Chain A
Amino acid sequence: MFTTYLFYFLCILAIYAALMVLVSRKPIHSVLYLVLVFFAIAGHYILLNAQFLAVVHIIVYAGAIMVLFLFTVMLLNLNREETSPKAGWVKVSAIVAGGLLMLVMIGVFRGYEMAVTSNPALTQIGLVKNLGRILFDDYIIPFELSSVLFLTAMIGAVMLGKKEQIKKTYD
């Protein structure tokens, strides 16, 4: 019963924070609300007994990605309010389009029921021991490939961030 209440609390918290990401005028407030969304989703992972994912989610998203966002906002001094908001009809049509997509997805899933084969409170699949074994047994090639992807992304980010090269290209 307690977990049910916790589930709905986390749902409301995540949706509220996600809406505040959009409503906030300043980018830094959006970033901080997004951190709140990520913590709510980490709570959902814990409710699903996916402990490995919960920890990785907090470390990678709240720890690394959001710090990158915060650095970008602060270093570039981007924390200005949006100067010229989009035209009213663009905003309204965007909200209508997004809302319709949301409604269509909820409508498609409505009435869907699935035979639950495991109790989330007792399942062991989300634990580090089990996931680690599967990751290094069956998914070892994707794991190694993802390390190559990381190296490529790192080199790409460093190359893009180099200052001299930019000046030479655009002067």
Chain B
Amino acid sequence: MTETLMVIPILHYLTFCSVLFGIGVIGVLVKRNALVILMSIELMINSINLLLAAFSTYLNDPAGQIFVFFIMVVAAAEVAVGLAIIVLIFRTTHTIDIDVLNKLKW
């Protein structure tokens, strides 16, 4: 029991990751630059990764950390394709302002 008192409570990780996730959500909603929106999505992915790793360590179950590894793999692939699409959009429309990209809206 004295040992667990030294450990940072899991609640602090939950709160911290919630705040980070919320900042990411606000970034996606507020920003107009497609690049910064992609960065906000990275922020959200990272907050979830940290939470998975925290629970994995606290429950002594390595599966969580393996999952974080796979999420990183998928995030790297996602960023490569996403940035290629942004470059493509910039080449055709000369802007990456998402409010201009409404051709598929209606």
Whether A7 contacts B8 by the Cβ 8 Å rule is yes
User: Given A48-B57, A166-B92, are A149 and B18 also a contact pair (CB < 8 Å)?
Assistant: no
Whether A30 contacts B50 by the Cβ 8 Å rule is no
Q: Which of A49, A50, A69, A131 contacts B35 (CB 8 A)?
A: A69
User: Could you tell me how many residues of chain B have their Cβ less than 8 Å away from some Cβ of chain A?
Assistant: 74
Cβ contacts under 8 Å, B79 to chain A? 65, 68-69
User: Could you tell me how many residues of chain A have their Cβ less than 8 Å away from some Cβ of chain B?
Assistant: 87
Whether B23 contacts A19 by the Cβ 8 Å rule is yes
Question: Main SS of chain B's interface residues?
Answer: helix
Of A4, A65, A110, most buried by chain B (CB within 10 Å of CB) is A65
Question: Main SS of chain A's interface residues?
Answer: helix
Cβ contacts under 8 Å, B6 to chain A? 119
Q: Which of B25, B73, B81 contacts A157 (CB 8 A)?
A: B81
Q: Which residue of B lies closest to A11 (CB)?
A: B16
Does B101 reach chain A (CB closer than 8 Å)? no
Q: Which of B15, B50, B59, B65 contacts A106 (CB 8 A)?
A: B15
Given A106-B14, A139-B66, 11 extra CB contacts under 8 A: A27-B35, A41-B50, A48-B57, A68-B83, A84-B32, A97-B29, A99-B22, A116-B4, A120-B58, A160-B87, A161-B87
